[in-house]
Each structure stands twice: as structure tokens, then as C-alpha cells.
Structure 1
Amino acid sequence: MKSIVLGVTGGIACYKAAEVVGALVKKGHHVDVIMTENAQKFVTPLTFQTLSQNRVITGMFEPVDDWDVRHVSLARKADVFAVVPATANVIGKIAAGIADDMLTTTIMAARCRKIIAPAMNTAMWENPVVRDNLQKLRDCGYEVLGTASGRLACGDTGAGKLLPWEQIVDSILKEE
């Protein structure tokens, strides 16, 4: 059984992260979910809480029942940390070392395998700044998954679409 921390960011593809969580739990893995503020505008924490059977972390300063430096304890127990979907915004923040919310703070403290599953508009995906940020993450040891091509939520057609959830689950569960 793996302990997986799944960061969910605020792109339209965040609803697909629910399939990832459900599949991982069905396979017997422990999943803790961290949602950004923007992710909560697309999907509620209750969805991920129900699927993961764990309390969902939504903020840095949530009250806790016990003394716990949550971002450090989550980072320590994670075998894998995956960001699904990873927006251009969170990719840029992680690449720049900005830790200003629970997701970015926790991933900065994690020493486990880290996976980035990007999802964004084709023009954003092809933007040289985003490409540079993804390469910087690769150079720092992050596994950066590709994207699928097809019709995007904005109506465009092209690359930038989140990979199918089955491929993401396979990437999370593969042995190094």
C-alpha cells in the first residue's frame, strides 16, 4: 500500500482527479487530498473526502484537533506526491519555489516521488514560459507527464488536455 498525496488545482479538468482518487483507494492505497482555493470553485472538498475516506486539506490555517505541522507531516508520510491537474499557475509557482498555499508548501517539503500532470489551454501549454517551467521541474527530479490532444473545454482543439485518469493512476503506481 502506498501513501499518496494528491494536489488538486483549479482547472476545469480537476473533476477528473476524482476518478484518480477513487481508483487509487479501490486498489487499497491511502490518499490524502489537498485542494487549492481555485479547485474548490470547480469541485467541492466533500467529493474528494467521500472518495478518499479522509479529511481534505483546503487551507494552511485550518483548525486541527491535535498539534501537527500538517504540511510537514503530509510530506513525510507520502510515498508519491501527484498534482492532478497541474495548471500553468501552480507549475510556475513550484518552479519558482513559491510556497504560498497548502499545496505548494507541502510539495516543497516532500522528498518523495513527485508527479506533475498538466492540463491547460493549448496556447498556454505551448507557451515558452510554461515549457521552461516544466523543464525546470524535470531538472529538479519531478516526473512531468505529457498531455492528450483533443477538444478542450474552451472549445479549442489541440494539446494540453489532461491525460486519461487510468494513465495517471498507472504513473502514480509504477515502481521507480
Structure 2
Amino acid sequence: MTKTILLAVSGSISAYKAADLTNQLTKLGYDVHVLMTEAATKFITPLTLQVLSKNPVHLDVMTEDKPQIINHIELAKQADLFLLAPASANTIAHLAYGFADNMVTATALALPTKTPKLIAPAMNTKMYDNPITQNNLKQLHEVGYQEIVPRSSRLACGDVGRGALADLTTILKAVQVIL
């Protein structure tokens, strides 16, 4: 049976890597449904991810195309895995505190507790190492999120350090281990 992955993309320069990730997951036979924050759409277009996933991209928690279902609830019920890649500091904070103000966070909050959840942070080193972000990640670990730790690299801002999105092979391996 085909496994369903909810790939949540948040606002990070690494959002462009979601195209390759979507493509690779689809080639591996997964049914990929992409959720995006508004900030993510500034880095990569939903159409790109729709074409690669062969599924509609979900952008707005208040848009209900089928009146008989509540989109974020149905998506959460169908998920075999929730994968947030890249995970911005903002989205991590929203998840840690239970905000449901966009499609990504509302769907995450609606996930059954048994659904595996992977989170792949991508942000500036100082943002990642900030005690607030680390505390938010700790809170997410405590409720079942598994972190795919970021790489150390030269970041888009020019800084060098921990915060680059994990390599796609590392992310794909984590997905395959869980599924």
C-alpha cells in the first residue's frame, strides 16, 4: 500500500530544495501532499511542487475546496508521516506553542499522536543556536517530533556554521527508516 507523506514547507531560503525532495519522494513511490506557509511561497512557487507531487498544494487553512470535508483534518488523518522540511524558526515556534494559524501548523496540530513527525530545521546559526529555538525544539521532541539536525556550512547570509538544511540523502534515509 502506498504511504502518504505530508511535506510541510516553511519560509526558509532552503525551500527551493523542497522541489528535489518532493521529486525524490514521489520517485520512491510515496504519495506526497505538500503544505506551505505563506512565507514559503516567496521562495518557491506552489505550482512547482504541485507538478512534482502530482497533488494539489495546500496553502490556506481557510480554503475548503470540498464543503463536505475539513481539509487540514482530512490530510492529518491520511498521513503516514509528517515531514517539515525546511523548518523555519518561526514555524518551529508556532508548532511548539500550538498555534494553528496556517495550513502547516493547523494540520500538524490535527495529526493523530501516533503519526510519525520529522522536522528538518534550516536557518541562520545564531537563530538555530538561540536558547529560545533550542527550547522550542526540545518541546517538540517531548511530544514526538524527531529532528533531522542541520548541517554546518556556509549559509545564504554568508555566515558559516550549523543551520543548513540536512542533505536530501539524510532526509530521505530518515523517511525510509520510519516508513
1:130 is aligned to: 133
Counterpart among 147, 162, 167 of residue 164 in structure 1: 167
Superposition pairs for residues 1-176 of structure 1, below 5 Å? 1-111=2-112, 112-175=115-178
Check conservation: 1:17, 1:165, Cα contact below 8 A.
no
5+ residue gaps, structure 2: none
Matched position secondary structure for 2:178: coil
The Cα RMSD (Å) is 1.1
Aligned identity (percent) is 43
List, as ranges, runs of 4+ consecutive aligned residues in structure 1 with deviation greater than 4 Å.
none
5+ residue gaps, structure 1: none
Q: Which amino acid aligns with 2:167?
A: P
Check conservation: 1:119, 1:147, Cα contact below 8 A.
yes
Deviation of the 1:18 alpha carbon: 1.2
For these two proteins, the number of residue pairs brought into alignment is 176
Check conservation: 1:149, 1:159, Cα contact below 8 A.
yes
Q: Which amino acid aligns with 2:93?
A: G
- Whole-Å Cα distance in 2 between the matches of residues 53 and 175 of structure 1? 23
Q: Which amino acid aligns with 1:99?
A: A
Check conservation: 2:122, 2:165, Cα contact below 8 A.
yes
Q: Which amino acid aligns with 1:33?
A: V
Q: Which amino acid aligns with 2:61?
A: M
Matched position secondary structure for 1:59: coil
- Tell me the TM-score normalised to structure 2 length: 0.95
Range that drifts further, 142-151 or 62-71: 62-71
Deviation of the 1:41 alpha carbon: 0.6
- Whole-Å Cα distance in 2 between the matches of residues 65 and 29 of structure 1? 24
Matched position secondary structure for 1:7: strand
- Tell me the TM-score normalised to structure 1 length: 0.97
